[in-house]
């Protein structure tokens, strides 16, 4: 695995500075890695260069899906939809790009309250997910868990989140494993298990800090602010949340509605 691939989908998601990209796939991986750290200005610049050089095809589709994922991380589900739509239009028969685009569209629909549409899009994504890289199974399970939470099905949410945790082991990706536990913590909370949510969230929060996964640190600090922490005081959680949000802004992220 190359250095950039390892940063994007492997064991070193916090590596910075990242090496320069040599090929278009390198540039996409560089953007993915930077986005995971909340370095949105750097990541977006790489995506802009990539789509100018590779305007059509699966790699361009993945670039648009990645840009959409950044918008969702910042709360912009409605804005993300147009980018995921472009991604779907360019995916063709490529299973990775097709799965990424449809899962993204399902997440966009979920974020604006279109739950039935989200479920239908997840069903369409299944045609691609079975043959796509393992990370797509993880992403599909994340959105399924979030949809279950949004529709009041806490037990189903936990089942989907646990499936994401299990599937993440096959990816070798620290970032996917950590986010799967973020989703699990939220699902446990929705299922009426705040103690379980607290335990999972405390452990995942330590991992986000260890690996520099600032957007996930912010999400977990928000959750720990609700369920409490066995490790950090309420004041420490608030400081961590606000510092993560400020770091994202300083790195080029624009929070939706802020």
CA proximity to 73, closest of 223, 215, 180: 215
Tokens of 199: 């335990």
CB-based contact 66:35 (threshold 8 Å): yes
CB-based contact 67:83 (threshold 8 Å): yes
Assign 1 a pLDDT band (cuts: 50, 70, 90): confident
Question: Each residue of 48-65: pLDDT tens digit?
Answer: 999 999 999 999 999 999
Whether the ω angle into residue 103 lies within 30 degrees of 0, i.e. cis, is no
pTM of the model: 0.97
Q: Averaged over 56-80, what is the pLDDT? A: 97
Q: Where are the alpha helices (DSSP H) in the chain?
A: 3-9, 24-36, 40-53, 58-73, 77-91, 95-111, 115-129, 134-150, 154-168, 174-190, 194-211, 214-227, 234-250
CA proximity to 139, closest of 91, 102, 113, 185: 102
CB-based contact 87:110 (threshold 8 Å): no
Residue 215 pLDDT more than 70? Answer: yes
Q: How many residues does the chain have?
A: 258
Q: Averaged over 179-207, what is the pLDDT? A: 98
Question: Each residue of 195-207: pLDDT tens digit?
Answer: 999 999 999 999 9
């Amino acid at each position: 695995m190359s250095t950039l691939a390892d940063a994007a989908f492997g064991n070193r998601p916090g590596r910075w500075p990242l090496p320069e990209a040599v090929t278009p796939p390198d540039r996409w991986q560089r953007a993915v890695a930077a986005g995971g750290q909340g370095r949105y200005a750097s990541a977006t610049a790489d995506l802009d260069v990539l789509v100018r050089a590779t305007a059509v095809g699966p790699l361009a589709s993945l670039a648009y899906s990645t840009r959409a994922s950044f918008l969702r991380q910042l709360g912009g589900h409605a804005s993300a939809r147009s980018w995921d739509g472009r991604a779907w239009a360019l995916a063709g028969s490529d299973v990775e790009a097709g799965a990424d685009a449809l899962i993204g569209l399902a997440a966009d629909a979920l974020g604006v309250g279109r739950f039935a549409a989200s479920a239908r899009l997840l069903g369409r994504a299944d045609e691609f997910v079975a043959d796509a890289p393992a990370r797509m199974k993880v992403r599909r399970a994340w959105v399924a868990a979030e949809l279950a939470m949004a529709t009041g099905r806490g037990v189903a949410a936990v089942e989907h989140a646990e499936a994401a945790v299990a599937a993440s082991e096959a990816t070798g990706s620290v970032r996917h494993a950590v986010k799967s536990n973020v989703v699990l913590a939220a699902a446990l909370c929705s299922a009426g298990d705040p103690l379980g949510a607290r335990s999972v969230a405390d452990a995942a929060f330590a991992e986000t800090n260890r690996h520099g996964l600032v957007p996930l640190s912010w999400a977990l600090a928000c959750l720990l602010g609700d369920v409490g922490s066995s490790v950090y005081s309420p004041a420490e959680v608030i400081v961590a949340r606000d510092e993560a949000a400020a770091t994202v802004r300083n790195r080029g992220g624009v929070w939706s509605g802020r």
